[in-house]
Amino acid sequence: MLTAHTIKVLQSLDKKKFRQKYNLFLVEGNKIICELPDSKFKIKEIFSTDPQKLDRTDVPITHISENELKKISFLQNPKDSVAVCYINPEEKLEDKNFQLVLDGIQDPGNLGTIIRLADWFGIEQIICSEDTVDFYNPKVIMASMGSFTRVNMVYTNLVEYLSQTENVNIGTDMNGENIYDFERPEKINLILGNEGNGMRPETEKLLQKSIMIPRFGKSQSTESLNVSMAAGIILGQLFRV
């Protein structure tokens, strides 16, 4: 049985300030929870409606009711278990040959999908502006579908970083080079801008190359692509054999 205090603490973890206060975040669903032992993330405890399905003896597991699960879950249709995990200290790895750089991405679903794309294409590190949505946001974790365990996230001052990196800074622009004719440099930072405003002017000034996805449809009704959708198209083309 969960105490009122525990429920209150877990419910508060949907906000960044409380995640930082307690140094904790939530991971929901047995499928994703089962990926945690092979990752750098340490589990504090698990609350489950069916603990036997998890088959874990190394961490405390509390058997809870469906009603209690609904109280601590951030999902409309809660899954079977919720794991409470410790937030890891941020660690910047050395620059990789291919990195994603996010300038002010605000939608948790977009960030989660981009992390999942990075994992799919073997991109080990994503560099984020300081105002990009928090990596530990429950919606980001859920949208990444476990990929958050395999992609390193770094939050930093983008102007400083992009000024110093040895990778070629590449961004999207309607007047840029056609992605289907573009020759990928050996070392690349692919920069994706804010959903509504695109890249900041100070970020755009540090671009060395620009690319664009050509429109094949005749209708001009669609002004732009969702940022995570655009990322998928660009990555698929840049990683072609």
How many CB atoms are closer than 10 A to CB 87? 15
Judged by average pLDDT, the poorest of 162-176, 188-202, 204-218, 219-233 is 219-233
Mean pLDDT score, 70-98: 93
Residue 210, CB-side half-sphere exposure with 13 Å CA sphere: 14
Closest CA to 173 of 203, 136, 152, 130: 203
What sign results for the dihedral spanned by CA atoms 139, 144, 146, 150?
negative
Is this structure's pTM higher than 0.85?
yes
pLDDT for the residue numbered 147: 97
Average pLDDT of the chain to the nearest whole number: 93
Closest CA to 153 of 114, 208, 190, 195: 114
The answer, yes or no, to whether residue 100 has pLDDT greater than 80, is yes
CB 111 within 8 A of CB 105: yes
Mean pLDDT score, 13-42: 95
